[in-house]
Structures are given as C-alpha cells and as structure tokens.
Structure 1
Amino acid sequence: MSMNQVKFSLSVVILIFSFKASAIESTDGLSQRDPFRLPQYLILKIKEKAMVSKVEAIGIDDSVDPVRRWPLSAYQLVGIISDVKRPKAMFLDKQNGIHMLHTKERLGSGGGVISEINSGEVVVIENKTPLKLKLKK
C-alpha cells in the first residue's frame, strides 16, 4: 500500500466513525437542530418568563395606591424639580405610571418615606434604613 492509499483509507475510517458518533448524538436533538427554530431550552425559558409575568399581572392589587403597590426597587427615579419651594421627585412604576411625590410621602410596599429630595438623588427611609435613589442621566 502506498502512503496515499493509507491516508485515504484512514480518512474514510475517520469519516465513518464520526458519522456514527453523530448519529448517536442526534438522539437528544441537539446535533441536527433546525437553524430556523429556537432551541428547546430557549423555548422553555421564554415560556417560564411568560408564566411569571402572568402571575405578577394577576397579583396586582388595585385597592393599594400605585406608589405603595410594589417594592422600592420597582420604581425608577426619572426626574427631580429641586429649584422650587417644595421639591418634587418624579417616579416611574412597573406599569409605566408617573408619580410626582414630595418629601414625607410614602413610596414602595415596604413602608418607605421620602426624607430628602436633592438635585441628583432622593433619599428614602425604609425600615429605618436610608436608601439613595440616584437620577439616571
């Protein structure tokens, strides 16, 4: 046998072996996946997120004031009016509702109270702990 024949027969053996190995791997559906469809694990993640958002949507209590409906982390500070006699802070909630609040007003489901409104931040005291909410630029 010449060197070329050995290389050819070796490459044929490797090709057959790799074909059989891929046939074994295809039982889980990962190796022969349709490139135009999402993988199964991504489909499951999307379904989980949809279920969680449905549960959250069902769990909204309309009897509670919107500024006290969710935890403090669910509110985003989007604006501050500080050059007036009584400063105001503008918050965005989970349902894209805007709320204008002054000092000594409540914010969040944990009983947070706005203690200070400065030019770049708002200090909220929740459970005797001051939390600074900074304005995003």
Structure 2
Amino acid sequence: MTLPARWKRRLLFGAVFAFLAANLTVALTLWWLRSSLPTIEGTATLAGLSEPVKITRDLTGVPWIRAANPEDAYFGLGYAHAQDRLWQMEFMRRIGDGRLAETLSKLSTEASNRVLPNDRFLRLLGLRHLAEESYRR
C-alpha cells in the first residue's frame, strides 16, 4: 500500500520541520550555556582602579595579574575570582550572613527547612556585623 502524494508531502514537511526545530533548539541551548561562562578575553573598564591592571591566563586557565600597586592587584584578583567562582562566593556570603534558607526556599521548601537552624545560629553569632565593623576600621 502506497501513500498518496499529499501524505508524502506532509511527512516530508513534518520531517524537515522537526529537523530544523531540533537544530534550532540545540543552537539556542549551546548559546545560552556559553553566555553563562565568564568572558576571559578582551578588555574591561572598571571603576575603582588607580592604574591599569592586566589579567592574563595561561593554558590551564590560571590567572596572572600585573598591576602597578598592591591595591589594584587585589582588585584584579577579586575580579578574576568572581569570573571563576561567582556562584561559590555568593553561596558562602549567604552562609555567613545566615541567609541561605531564603535562597534555597525558591528551589525547595525541604532544603530551606534543613538549613534554617544553621541560618539562625549564624545570625546569632553576628558574623556579618563583625565583618562590617572590621572593614570600617
């Protein structure tokens, strides 16, 4: 039994459409994933530097920082750390603040409830206020 010509056209159209939709989905997914990676090439102009800082990376991705003074070098180091580990830095900051449960509550109530006692304890310690006071000195 052979298919009528219009069914063959419909099948061909459907196959081409599915192929194009799959390719578009893969391309958009790859673009989205790549856009979340840090930009490690090019030039960035940042406020807060007194002299230019040059950050280069070797073949293994280790940052090399060249600066005219220690303060600018520390700034460059912080920038490189943020490029590589921004999520980890934010996660640790929230742990120290005692605010991890409010972030995890968006993902899961169970996860939020498990870290809530830690958050209460860390707020009781007042690490954030101690850090702010230490920074002001």
Same fold per superposition (TM over 0.5): no
Larger radius of gyration: 1
